[in-house]
Chain A
Amino acid sequence: MANTDLGYLLHSRPYRDSSVICDFLLEHHGRASLLYRGVRKAGKQGAKGRLLQPFSPLAVTFDGRNELKTGRLLEPAGAPVFLVGRQLYSGLYVNELLVRLLHKEEPASDLFRYYQNVITELRNGQLEATLRRFERILLAELGYELSLQWDVHGQPLQVDQLYLYEPDQGFLPVATQSIDPGLRQRCFTGQHLLAINRHAYDDQAVALAAKKLSRQALAPHLGDKPLRSRELFKQSAQ
């Protein structure tokens, strides 16, 4: 039975001579792998293949019961979106996170709607705040929501207290005096955590702390294989 859905291409890779295996984020079916046959060709036959680009909405039809579905129809479902420069790097980062972390075939309609927002916001040039919000929402979707109001003992976060982030547990209060400089680097002030909770990233120090927190929170799920899209930003920062 054929399924019809709205989706975004996250990643594609060539398969055999003229086919493509596509990783999609679909509105009703979550993340799914679709095989489009015979689309890597010149001329008219390859028209479908040229539509297979990330960040532009696509209407897809597919069937099959295995993990790899067979893609049938493919049409644009809206105006194409062209991200440029750092917007594009950010988009690739978001896609890499989804491909690495999101489980296949689990409906994620909220995440899908948020992904649509992310693309619009990236297009408008709001990069850092958009990425931080997205990381928080993705963690929540995966079942690891960050609680940025309470520490591990169930006490409200204090503005002038230092906290250490412990994956799977939360924020552990640490004494300021007895701490070595290496560990101090990994800590967050309560003030910053509360600001991150409000998504108040206008303050540069808060934005940096939020980035540090996202990295620490995502690290256990990414394993020891680093995110390659981060390398792209390095040159821009130079």
Chain B
Amino acid sequence: MSFSPLTQRLIESLTCLPGVGPKSAQRMALHLLDRDRVGAQKLADTLQLAIDKIGRCQRCRNFSEAPVCHTCSQMSRDPGLLCVVETPADVIAIDQSGSFRGFYFLLLGHLSPIDGIGPEEIGADLLDKRLAEGEVTELVIATGTTVEGEATAHYLSEMARRHGVVASRIAHGVPMGGDLEYVDSNTLTLALQGRRVIE
């Protein structure tokens, strides 16, 4: 037995979601059609609206339906601090920590020459313009702790230096509440390299 062509198409469309294979897609499709038609209608409408309306914020490159996103419009933030992150999820993570009150800039990836991702693809020209405006005094670089993240950080720090902006890199080290014996050697090496005098 096979599903009707449209049901089959719905199942196949759902497999574009991360973590969803044919089996879970089938379960989702049947659930929407059988049990929750109202929810399905809402999902379809919202999805259509989101795809039509949501673009990139002109300031930070985060998702936004307005030309300048909500975060970039908040007057309470410190305009001198600009934090560079790789993904929208990183913005949420840093903002929820409550310890950063500046603005953000999203690279939407990191420099990776072999994958064909160069300065242009990570929005380097837009960041260059932002730094040239002269409002930013410190560029906080919060790219990943991978080799590519490190190369990106260096690239951005050189750019900051050209504009006379201080570039800082978030610390790498031992996670809170962790035992040292379970920390991998790479992290320990970085933690030791970045040790601080106790004042």
Contact surface of A with B, Cβ cutoff 8 Å: 10-11, 13, 17, 44, 47, 50-51, 53-56, 76, 79-80, 82-85, 88-89, 91-93, 95-96, 99, 227-229, 231-232, 235-236, 238
**Is B119 an interface position by the 8 A CB rule?**
yes
Most buried by A among B151, B162, B185, B190: B151
Q: How far is the CA of A228 from the CA of B185 in the complex (A)?
A: 31
Given A56-B186, A80-B185, A235-B155: A17 touches B119 (CB 8 Å cut-off):
no
Q: How far is the CA of A89 from the CA of B112 in the complex (A)?
A: 10
Asked whether, in the complex, the Cβ of B158 is within 8 Å of the Cβ of A236, the reply is yes
Asked whether, in the complex, the Cβ of A228 is within 8 Å of the Cβ of B118, the reply is yes
Q: Which 6 A-B pairs have the closest CB atoms?
A: A228-B113, A229-B113, A80-B186, A231-B118, A11-B114, A54-B147
Contact surface of B with A, Cβ cutoff 8 Å: 18-19, 111, 113-119, 146-147, 150-151, 154-155, 158-159, 162, 182, 184-187, 189-190, 193
Q: How far is the CA of A32 from the CA of B177 in the complex (A)?
A: 39
Given A76-B185, A85-B154: A235 touches B159 (CB 8 Å cut-off):
yes
Asked whether, in the complex, the Cβ of A82 is within 8 Å of the Cβ of B189, the reply is yes
Q: Give the nearest-CB partner of B162 in chain A.
A: A238
Q: Give the nearest-CB partner of B157 in chain A.
A: A85
Q: Per DSSP, are chain B's interface residues mostly helix, strand or loop, or mixed?
A: helix
Q: How far is the CA of A13 from the CA of B193 in the complex (A)?
A: 28
Chain A residues with Cβ under 8 A from B115's Cβ? Answer: 11, 13
Q: How far is the CA of A62 from the CA of B147 in the complex (A)?
A: 24
Chain A residues with Cβ under 8 A from B159's Cβ? Answer: 235
